[in-house]
């Protein structure tokens, strides 16, 4: 039987400059899917560039290589990853005049 865990990492938060989700320990899993659920975008030409980051210690972060498509409107977005260590998070930067995003971050892990 495979092991599975679904976590709501962030719930309905507002960001207007940078997203740094809570770090999650995932070393037991062999694959992961991050979901970004964007409920609302505000401002003129809002853009959120988001990516997955990994860490050796849960403190210092480096890009993993997986990126989300550019987020410019409400919707559901995801990216898949494998071959990671123990710590995972989502990092993102918002741009646009008075850009703001209301979103949730979910992480699904499977072994």
Q: Which two tokens stand for residue 47?
A: 């853009």
Give residue-wise pLDDT tens across range 18-35.
999 999 999 999 999 999
Q: What is the pTM of this model?
A: 0.94
Expressed as residue numbers, the domain containing 90 is 4-110
- Tell me the mean pLDDT in the region 1-9: 92
Domain count, the chain: 1
Of the chain, the percentage scoring pLDDT greater than 90 comes to 97
CATH of the domain at 22: 2.60.120.380
């Amino acid at each position: 039987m495979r092991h599975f865990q679904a976590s709501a990492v962030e719930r309905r938060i507002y960001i207007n400059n940078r997203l740094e989700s809570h770090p999650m320990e995932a070393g037991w899993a062999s694959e992961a899917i991050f979901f970004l659920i964007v409920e609302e975008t505000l401002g003129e030409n809002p853009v959120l560039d988001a990516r997955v980051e990994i860490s050796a210690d849960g403190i210092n972060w480096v890009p993993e290589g997986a990126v989300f498509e550019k987020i410019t409107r409400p919707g559901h977005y995801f990216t898949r990853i494998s071959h990671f260590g123990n710590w995972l998070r989502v990092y993102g930067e918002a741009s646009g005049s008075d850009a703001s995003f209301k979103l949730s971050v979910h992480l699904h892990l499977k072994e």
